Each structure stands twice: as C-alpha cells, then as structure tokens.
Amino acid sequence: MSENNSKHAVVTGASTGIGAATVRKLRSEGWHVVAVARRADRLERLAEETGALPFAADITKDDDVAALARFVAENGGLDTLINIAGGARGADKVGEARNDDWEWMFQANVMGTMKMTKAFLPALRANRRGTVLNLTSTAGLVAYEGGAGYNAAKFAQHALTNALRLEEVENNLRVIEIAPGLVHTEEFALNRLGGDAAAAEKIYQGVAEPLTPEDVAEVVGYAVGLAHHINLDQIVIRPVAQAANHKLIRA
C-alpha cells in the first residue's frame, strides 16, 4: 500500500493537547507542518522542538485566517488541512444554558472549522489530491445530559464534515472525521469546568487508561498518511474502558 507522498499540512489547535501531539507526530514522519494556535509563546516552543512553522492566529477571525492562508501559500502551500481546534465550555443543562458558553463553542468548533476550510479549499481543489481531516467528538454522535451545548456544536461540525465530503468529491478531496471519546488532555476538562482543577480531574478518576493526545495523533497520522484513494470517512476512537458515552468503567 503506497503512502501519501504529498506531505504539507496545516494543523490548528497546535498549542496544546491533540493539536500539539499531531504536529509532533507528523514532523516525526517527515511532514512539512504549519502549526496554528492563538498562543504564540507555546507555538514558538513547539516550533523549536519539532521544526514546524508557527503561525499565531484566531481561526474564528476572518483577518487572521486570511493572513494564515497567505503565509501558507508563501511557504510551500498545503495538501492536508487538519482542523483540531475546538473545545467545550460548561456542563449545564439546557434550562441553565449560558449564552456566552454556547456562542463560544459554536465559534470555536463550527465557525472556525468552516472558515479554515473555506479559506483553503481553492488550494486543496487545485492540488487534486487534497485532504481535510476534522476532529469532532463522540459528543457529536450521541447526546448526553449536561452536554447540550457541546453536543450541538459537535453535531454541527459532524454534519459540516459529511456535507463537505459530498460537495468536494468531484475535486478528489478526501474528507476524514475522527471522533474521540474520553481523552485525558492538559486543558480540555479544565477549560470546560472554568479552571476548577479538582473537578476536571474527577472526569478521569478511576479510569485505568483513558486515551492520550498521542493516541489520537497516532490515528490522525495514520489516516492522512494512507494512499490518497483510501478515505476513512469516520473513525470513532475510545479507550477500552468506555464502551459508550454513557458506559465508562472506573476502578
């Protein structure tokens, strides 16, 4: 099975967690990578470590995305767009929903993915062997109590991904969705729960082996590294202890 030999990727959400792990994974396999996130200091450290090209940008802002597209074009272009950036805020039920949290989640998960994809579609279409990989979540496949805002955002991102695959197949664009379950990252639960470290750690308490960012990055690297005619439409990845969103084994 031949590999994807066109290895120029843009990775968002690269300052931490799955995004940073994905940059490390791709660089270890010889990819040229532009690493994108809001926090320039973290990107610089990642660039020093891996050799990736850093670009500080807020993917929800049109001017930032346009500047990023110019930067990528000036630095070798791309054949692979990996949309990792996103996240959750709050665990409120619908009756206690906070407008700001919902708006942030839709901006980060849906609008950011749309703006990045729209900005790079001309280059990906011209390439004729382009790939878009969107990191969604099992929260975008099955709803749960206290997750409505994140569910809604990730369901929307999941739908966007499916529509994109149908719309761009005539341009030979490969569109991949990876939907992780429980992943123990540095910041996801902490940010979701307003910085409450004790509450965030309880999310993972007693779970013998939750997924790590490196686990997910391994799957991302595999999916985008396959020969281009192979499309892994949707990959659901969970720890063995999580048989479903509602069934998690704790010691």
Residues classed as catalytic: 150
pLDDT at residue 201, as a whole number? 87
Tokens of 128: 């004729």
Tokens of 167: 């719309």
Mind listing the pLDDT tens digit for each residue in 47-104?
Answer: 999 999 999 999 999 999 999 999 999 999 999 999 999 999 999 999 999 999 999 9
Tokens of 21: 């792990």
Tokens of 67: 């500047």
pLDDT at residue 3, as a whole number? 58
Mind listing the pLDDT tens digit for each residue in 116-134?
Answer: 999 999 999 999 999 999 9
Mind listing the pLDDT tens digit for each residue in 11-31?
Answer: 999 999 999 999 999 999 999
What's the mean pLDDT in 180-198?
A: 86
Cβ of 170: how many Cβ atoms within 10 Å?
Answer: 8
Domains of the chain, with CATH numbers?
8-248 (3.40.50.720)
One-letter amino acid of 193: L
pLDDT over threshold 90, residue 202? no
pLDDT at residue 189, as a whole number? 79
Going along 12-159, which residue ranges are E strands? 32-37, 53-56, 80-83, 131-135
